[in-house]
Copies of this chain bind each other. A is one copy, B any other.
Amino acid sequence: MRFFSDNAAPVHPNVLATMAAANTLDTAYDGDAFSKRLDARLSETFETEVTALWVPSGTAANCLALAALCPPHGSIVCHRDAHIQNDECGAPEFYTHGAKLLLADGEGAKLTPDAITDILSLQRYDVHQQRPHAISITNATEYGRVYLPDEVAAIGALAKDRGLALHMDGARFANAVVGTGASPADLTWRGGVDALSMGFVKNGGMNAEALVFFGGDHAETTRYRRKRAGHLLSKGRYLAAQILAMLDDDVWLANARAANAGAALLADAAGDRLIHPVEANEMFLRVTADEAVSLRAKGFDFYDWGPGEARLVVSWDQQEADIRPLAAAIRAL
């Protein structure tokens, strides 16, 4: 049983079904009936008027957002362990044409106003340094932690105070919504988020993420950047269909709930071995090399995450019955 990545999971049946339903003649690019419904549908979800662009990857969503919020001569505060810093092969630098990521510290890959303020206070604000223009946080974080609405709002307030834009990498946004019990609105724009990379792929989608802008005229220029980056797919309806399928009947929340619940099961079994509290669908575990070998020998697959650490991710489609054996195995270590 694989627990190494929610990227490896299959696609939810509703997603496939809606893609099949989209399989008729329609307008090219994003002029089709499905794409046209996105803004309204997501505006409902977020209880405010939003503009959304589909893109086929989270990297594209993140970096189009950053390019909208920060000029080439600007800088962006993010966590040292952020996906945009460590896992996108410099896509932020590519899309922003060379903006600099300023790396802040914080437990569980979470930023705090203090940590951000510390980094900002090291900047000189003269022309010899790129001036901070934005903050990027990840919810749920790269270590499976969540930001609560108050925590987002505290960062949002700091951002506003400093004239910075706020981006949220929501590759696992659904897991954060479920994990916090907060509304999508409270986790984003009400807390000052300007742009959200709203992930669906890790949560049962195939290859469609939504880049959601809460106000501003960022969407207009981002349409050009999306095209220019090769992300305006010519048959966009198959991407829009995925997103709509995930939103309809709250599939996105049900899937995240399942994944989070599975991770909670494992967390319960892991006890003191937990490196971070489990608040979404990821678990980071202290294991010796021998223990890792023994888990793998039992058929459980996961990533090593530094020496003595393992990352286990539960996907939307993994049933309690699939997870109990791993929980038992962890308990038995």
Contact = CB atoms under 8 A, between A and B. Distances in A.
Interface string A24-44: 111111000000000000000
Given A202-B234, A239-B207, A227 B8 contact: no
Interface stretch (A86-94, A174-182, A283-291): A86-94
A299 B2 CA distance: 53
Interface stretch (A125-133, A248-256, A272-280): A125-133
Contact of A207 (B5, B11, B97, B235): B235
Contact of A98 (B75, B94, B201): B94
Interface in A71-92: 71-73, 75, 86-91
A305 to B, nearest CB: 11
Say what secondary structure dominates the interface of chain A.
loop
User: Interface residues of A toward B: which range?
Assistant: 35 or more
A98 B93 contact: yes
A23 B11 contact: yes
Interface of A: 2, 4-5, 7-11, 16, 19-20, 23-29, 55-61, 63, 71-73, 75, 86-91, 93-95, 97-100, 127-131, 201-202, 206-207, 221, 223-235, 238-239
